[in-house]
Amino acid sequence: MAPLDGIGASLRRKEDQRFLTGKGRYTDDFNRHGQLHAYFLRSPHAHARIRGIDTGRAKAAPGVVDVFTGADTKAIGGLICGWMITSKDGTPMKAGSHRPLAEDKVRYVGDHVAIVIAETYNEAKDAAELIDVDYDVLTAVVVTDKARAPGAPLVHDEIAKNTCYEWSLGDKAATDAAFAKAAHVTKLDIVNNRLVPNAIEPRAAIGDYDSGMDSFTLYTTSQNPHVARLVLSAFNGIAPEHKLRVIAPDVGGGFGSKIFIYAEETVCLWASKQVGRPVKWTGDRSEAFLADAHGRDHVTTAEMAMARDGTILGLRVHTTANLGAYLSTFASCVPTYLYAPLLSGQYRIPAIYAEVDGVYTNTAPVDAYRGAGRPEATFVIERMVETAAREMKIDPAEFRRRNFVPADAFPYQTPVIMTYDSGQYHKVLDEALTLSDYAGFPARKAESAARGKLRGIGFCSYIEACGIAPSAAVGSLGAGVGLWESAKVRFNPTGNVLLYTGSHQHGQGHETTFAQLISTYLGVPTDQVEVIHGDTEKTPFGMGTYGSRSLAVGGSAIVKACEKVIEKGRKIAAHLLEAAEGDIEFKDGKFTVAGTDRAKSIQEIAFAAYVPHNYPQGVEPGLEESAFYDPVNFTFPSGTQVCEVEIDPDTGVTTIVNFVAIDDFGKIINPMIVEGQVHGGIVQGIGQALLENAVYDPESGQLLTGSYMDYTMPRADDVPSFKVGLVETPCPHNPLGVKGCGEAGAIAAPASVMNAVTDAIGKHMQMPATPERVWRAIHGTAV
Amino acid sequence: MTVSVSITVNGKPVTRQVEGRTLLVQFLRETLGLTGTHVGCDTSQCGACVVHVDGRSVKSCTLLAAQADGCAVTTIEGLAAADGALHPMQAAFREHHALQCGFCTPGMVMSAVDLANRHPGGMDETTVREGLEGNICRCTGYHNIVKAVIAGADTMRGAPAKAAE
């Protein structure tokens, strides 16, 4: 009998005990002996030349140990961007200098100017006010689609037109030809609003230099501690990799914002050697708003060509993507290779051509945020499809059906790089229509109308690419790293298991899900498995957690390590059972001589491996195996959301009255955890559609939405409960058949919500659909 | 300037000299080392720092430690029974998968316990959603938190517990 806590069980989470009792250990919960506290002085200006900095009074302030500015930190290598994008004219992207502490200029409000290190946090913060910075304030360029305007101020003096790259993907001539024979063309201007990730734990770091060992330890809020170590070593030059340990303990949410290697941890780590004591920095929420990498911020024009029957013939997209003032760690790939290859959606589109201009502005860096490029692509194609269907007076569900990639067409090669592996788009849509009672919508709309309310329904049939990624493929597209994952399975002599993973959990439940894999593959119950992650000195080198990759890539590495354990165990069992190795079967934690009841449990085999008194010749003692897994393709989760809204035309208030999500994530390990990921993603998507908007003053570049008083986070009373369902089409190319579930909700929900809102009001409008903006849209004074 | 602060924390009386500007949350986290109470914002919006002061939920970033002088404070560390058995609200959060990264969880649970105490007759979904308006969670989308709070409140008032699906 299969164990009850293996694959498919909604096992309650192993990690919850510590989080529920206040025993979680987040970075700010750590304190090192002799620790000092750091405060970063930040630029109050969006754009200014630094004429001079006087730190004299600050250095003399009570408790202050030292103050460093850009002039002091020239030995630190610059912050890097790890993906080289090539413009359509063949020139490499233009990455401006990105110093950990500003030297010549500050380039956004919140840019790092100095670090004050003192005995207490308050002393450091107080002293920062005593630093005199002589700024020559410059005109700022803030607005995305004005960055390339003639005469716009230059963020980096040497980068013309504030343009990092002018990139394209697809066949322009074929797309132009498709439009030439179109019976109908739909065109939309689409803004994908800028967001602040807002993991509830602010970023934090403790740098700790040990002079006895000449080595560094960094405690940090990271989704990928090995990547942080690699960058801090190879590029920032703080210490060689073998002299640097990075620990990412419990991390309170990431959503992409904790992938990146920021100035704060870099400088704290470096400074700990300068001052000879550990240096701790914990950001506050205001700093998170100013200086965590933001998300989205696209301005797009899209055109789609259709035949008379609604068959899509071609798609043409031009996007201006705001990269902020500097290129963050993976910023360059998000609006290019993580975006345009998804523009085909779930549809057979013969010709697609996309152009993306990546631009610098005097705003915080923009990088991957939950979904990273795929929400932007999904929003474009799904707003286009919905709008085209309405314009052509075809039911939006039927329009999608006519254009879906059919279930028998996989693997399906799109015109924009991707080869979709599997999917059942028609089936998923049909289930969503049933669960949302689409047939009953006209009656509900009439009932709302009778009460003076506007009711609308919207779909989003999304595709996304997870499990990033085949190393050779991403390498050919400019990635500076491989994107495999690692695992190590160690049996202890008493039969329990330590599972080391290169992935990192910050809410996803790896300690439970990964233990379930061990339960199923090795027959060891989950309470006998400890999952270890987040410490470069304990775990094998891993690329970390983002892009919904942990199970598809990291889980596959675990399966491979398990297979190696079984292979070795079989040799030991054959010896102990005096049978031929080929006659030994392994199932449910037991090695059995086929056709007999002679068996040894895997725990007995583990004991024998560590106490090898009676042991096969030529077999090494011990039972511990490692594996690395490099995927052969992306995985392609898909699904359909149906959102139904009711809008009060007098107030503009939008209420979500029904929300259905049917997702195909392939094989499911823990349904409870998967559904939780869907719920959370949906609310982040609803947040983007209805509430959230990072707004800079267009002239001064001041962040106007710099706190929870101004930036509207979704709260419990802003959102409904959800109806979610799963369709399982196993991924054909990884051993678990899994696809990834972490981002789907956030990828699809902006489009499903906005399709519902625009259906209700009968007009196109941009996100977020706040009451004021909806009211203005209804009453003809659109903002 | 330092002040003397005496507070009963999780049933144990403590007295400490602290800087006058010390917030209650700093007193708990830094002076006493009770790091279960978290800080997620600087505008008293997120609710990660909620504790009970004399039985009522309070955002501990909004109160000076000196203002809690003479009060009884319960933090997330003091919620479970002495034998380690989880409080019904903690158990309900686990049963209904109402937490992911765990960072908002202590404040969310403390708010939920107070909310349940203030609604001894039980709560519907709207009451729970409105009652938790001062606690922000970025992970769960609130769906499972709402289920957990209703279930936890039911257990607290002796109604039969309902297992999650």
Q: Is residue B165 part of a domain?
A: no
B94 and B68 both lie in a single domain = no
What is the rounded CA–CA span in Å between residue A496 and residue A624? Answer: 12
Are A499 and A645 found together in one domain? no
Which tens digits make up the pLDDT trace of B29-50? 999 999 999 999 999 999 999 9
* Tally of domains in chain B: 2
Predicted local distance difference test score (pLDDT) of residue B15: 98
Residue A68, C-beta contacts closer than 8 angstroms, at least 6 positions apart: A101, A114, A115, A117, A267, A271, A274
> What one-character DSSP code corresponds to residue A236?
T
The structure tokens listed for A253 are: 């949410």
Same domain, B141 and B107: yes
A206 and A87 share one domain: yes
* Residue A270 domain flag: yes
Residue B83 lies in a domain: no
Assigned domain for A356 exists: no
Residue A301 CA to residue A313 CA, distance in Å, equals: 17
**Closest residue of chain A to B109, computed from CA coordinates:** A20
Q: Work out how many CB contacts closer than 8 A connect A with B.
A: 178
The reply to whether B131 falls in a domain is yes
C-alpha distances in angstroms, B135 versus A136, A705, B53, B152?
A: 42, 19, 17, 17
Residues of A in contact with B99 (CB under 8 A): 16, 19-20
Instruction: Report the SS3 class of residue A51.
Output: strand
CB-based contact, A357 to chain B, within 8 Å: no
Nearest CB to B36 within list A23, A202, A251? A23
Domain membership of residue A591 (yes or no) is: yes
Residue to substitute from B93, B143, B146, B165, interface A, most A β-carbons within 10 A: B143
Task: Say yes or no: B73 and B95 in one domain.
Answer: no
How many other CB atoms are found less than 10 A from the CB of residue B120? 10
Whether A65 is in a domain gets the answer yes
Task: Give me the CATH number covering residue B46.
Answer: 3.10.20.30
* Position B124 in a domain: yes
CATH assignment at residue A607: 3.30.365.10
Q: Which residues contact B158 (CB under 8 A, 6 or more apart)?
A: none
Residue B35 forms contact with A (CB below 8 Å)? yes
Test A22 with B34 for CB contact under 8 angstroms: yes
- Domain boundary, last residue among B77, B101, B132: B77
Q: Of B45, B75, B146, which has the smallest distance from its Cβ to A721's Cβ?
A: B146
Say if residues A463 and A347 touch (Cβ distance below 8 Å).
no
Strands of A430-528 (E only): list them.
454-463, 485-491, 497-501
CB contact under 8 A, A508 and B130: no
Please tell me the distance in Å from B8's CA to the nearest CA on chain A: 18
B105 Cβ under 8 Å from any chain A Cβ: yes
Same domain, B62 and B92: no
User: Of the residues A275, A291, A307, which one is the last residue of a structural domain?
Assistant: A291
| Inside any domain, residue A321 | no
Please calculate the CA angle B40-B41-B43 and round it to the nearest 5 degrees.
Answer: 150
ipTM, interface predicted TM-score of the complex = 0.97
Q: Is the dihedral of CA A705, A706, A708, A710 positive or negative?
A: negative
pLDDT at B164: 54
Q: What angle do CA B40, B45, B47 make, to 5 degrees?
A: 60
Element spanning A17, H or E: helix A16-20
Q: Can you tell me the distance from the alpha carbon of A639 to that of A427, in angstroms, rounded to the nearest whole number?
A: 10
Residues B69 and B22 in one domain: yes
> What span, in angstroms and rounded, lies between the C-alpha atoms of A579 and A575?
7
Task: Extract the residue ranges of chain A whose pLDDT is less than 50.
Answer: 1-3
State the nearest Cα–Cα gap between B105 and chain A, in angstroms.
7
Cα separation of A559 and A557, whole Å? 5
Q: Does residue B92 share a domain with residue B55?
A: no
What residue spans of A611-689 are helical by DSSP H? 671-686
CATH number for the domain spanning A38: value is 3.90.1170.50
On whether the CB atoms of residues A98 and A304 are closer than 8 A, the answer is no
Please compute Rg for chain B using Cα positions. 16
In this structure, is residue A177 part of a structural domain?
no
Q: How far, in Å, CA of A243 to CA of B71, rounded?
A: 48
Chain A residues closer than 8 Å to B90 by CB: 20-21
Q: Are residues B13 and B53 in the same domain?
A: yes
| Record: contact B35-A680, CB cut-off 8 A | no
Is there a single domain that holds both residue A115 and residue A245? yes
What's the CATH number where B100 sits? 1.10.150.120
Cα A44 versus chain centre, distance: 29
Residues A228 and A103 reside in one and the same domain: yes
Q: How many domains does chain A have?
A: 3
Closest C-alpha to A87, from A169, A165, A170: A165
Same domain, A87 and A234: yes
Query: Are the C-beta atoms of A487 and A522 separated by less than 8 Å?
Result: no
- B20–chain A Cβ distance below 8 A for any pair: no
In-domain check, residue B134: yes
- Judged by CB atoms closer than 8 Å, whether chains meet at B100 and A676 is answered as yes
Whether residue B71 is found in the same domain as residue B96 = no
Structural domain boundaries enclosing A534 = 16-22+484-629
- Alpha carbons A629 and A565: distance in angstroms, whole number: 16
* Chain A residues close to B81, C-beta within 8 Å: none
A11, A14, A19, A670, best to mutate vs chain B, most B CBs in 10 Å: A19
The per-residue DSSP string of B48-70 comes to TTEEEETTEEEETTSSBGGGGTT
- Out of B100, B135, B146, whose CB is closest to A680? B100
To the nearest whole angstrom, how far is the Cα of B16 from the nearest Cα of chain A? 17
Task: Tell me what pLDDT residue A396 has.
Answer: 98
Are A117 and A215 contained in the same domain? yes
- Verify that A706 and A757 share a domain, yes or no: yes
| Residue A444 and residue A539 share a domain | no
Quick check: B161 pLDDT over 80? no
> Residue A60: which residues within 8 A CB-CB, separation 6 or more?
none
The range of the structural domain enclosing residue B26 comes to 2-77
Identify whether the C-beta of residue B151 lies closer than 8 Å to the C-beta of residue B162: yes
Decide if B162 is inside a domain.
no
CA distance A440 to A654: 20
Same domain, B12 and B65: yes
Domain endpoint, select from A629, A648, A681: A629
Q: Which residues of B touch A19 (CB under 8 A)?
A: 99, 102, 105
Kindly give, in sequence order, each residue whose CB lies less than 8 Å from that of residue A750, ignoring residues fewer than 6 positions away. A192, A375, A378, A379, A685, A688, A689, A767
CA distance A695 to A770: 14
User: In chain B, what percentage of residues exceed pLDDT 70?
Assistant: 96
Same domain as A546, residue A588: yes
pLDDT digits (tens, 9 = 90+) for A712-743: 999 999 999 999 999 999 999 999 999 999 99
CB contact under 8 A, A681 and B43: no
Does A533 lie at the interface with B, CB-CB under 8 angstroms?
no
Q: How close A524 gets to chain B, by Cα (Å)?
A: 23
Mean pLDDT of B77-89: 96
Which residues does chain B have within 8 Å of residue A17's beta carbon, measured at their own beta carbons? 94
